[in-house]
């Protein structure tokens, strides 16, 4: 019988092994590039600033100014979304998420299979 600490230690070991998978390494590499991209950082700050402004305009019932602000937000989002690094980030993130979901499904299936065998 395994103790909780044994299982947590094994989960930590598995986590360390997952970090060495090419899919996960690529995701972390692209994520690092995203954080180092000054142009993207500037656009994200501008996006957040405009989003806050839109909330304030909405709260004060300034419909026309809100529409202009939301149009500007959409334009900034469009600019961000066409950056190759952003597309690459989304792709690697999806691949890493798919891998993790597959692992979770596998563990769940095996746990359920083991439970069914006991019953």
| Structural domain of 66 | 23-112
Decide if 103 is inside a domain.
yes
Would 2 be classed as within a structural domain? no
Res 24: pLDDT:
96
User: Which parts of the chain are beta strand (E)?
Assistant: none
Per-residue exposure over 2-19, b if at least 16 CB sit within 10 Å of its own CB, e if not? eeeeeeeeeeeeeeeeee
Domain assignment of residue 17, yes or no: no
Rounded to two decimals, the pTM is: 0.73
The 10s digit of each residue's pLDDT in 76-90 is: 999 999 999 999 999
The answer to the question of residue 106 being in a domain is yes
Quick check: is 31 in a domain?
A: yes
Please provide the average confidence, as pLDDT, over all residues in the chain.
Answer: 93
Q: Is residue 117 part of a domain?
A: no
Residue 10 lies in a domain: no
Number of domains in the chain: 1
**Is residue 92 situated within a structural domain?**
yes
pLDDT digits (tens, 9 = 90+) for 13-45: 999 999 999 999 999 999 999 999 999 999 999
| CATH code of 100's domain | 1.20.1500.10
Q: Between the CA of residue 56 and those of 65, 67, 98, 110, what are the distances in Å?
A: 10, 12, 38, 50
């Amino acid at each position: 019988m395994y103790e909780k600490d044994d299982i947590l230690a094994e989960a930590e070991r598995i986590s360390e092994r997952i970090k060495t998978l090419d899919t996960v390494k690529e995701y972390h590499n692209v994520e690092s590039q995203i954080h180092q991209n000054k142009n993207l950082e500037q656009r994200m700050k501008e996006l957040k600033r405009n989003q806050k402004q839109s909330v304030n305009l909405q709260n004060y019932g300034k419909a026309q100014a809100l529409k202009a602000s939301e149009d500007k937000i959409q334009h900034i989002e469009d600019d961000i979304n066409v950056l190759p690094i952003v597309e690459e980030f989304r792709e690697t993130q999806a691949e890493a998420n798919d891998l993790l979901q597959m692992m979770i499904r596998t563990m769940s299936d095996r746990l359920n299979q083991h439970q069914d065998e006991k019953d």
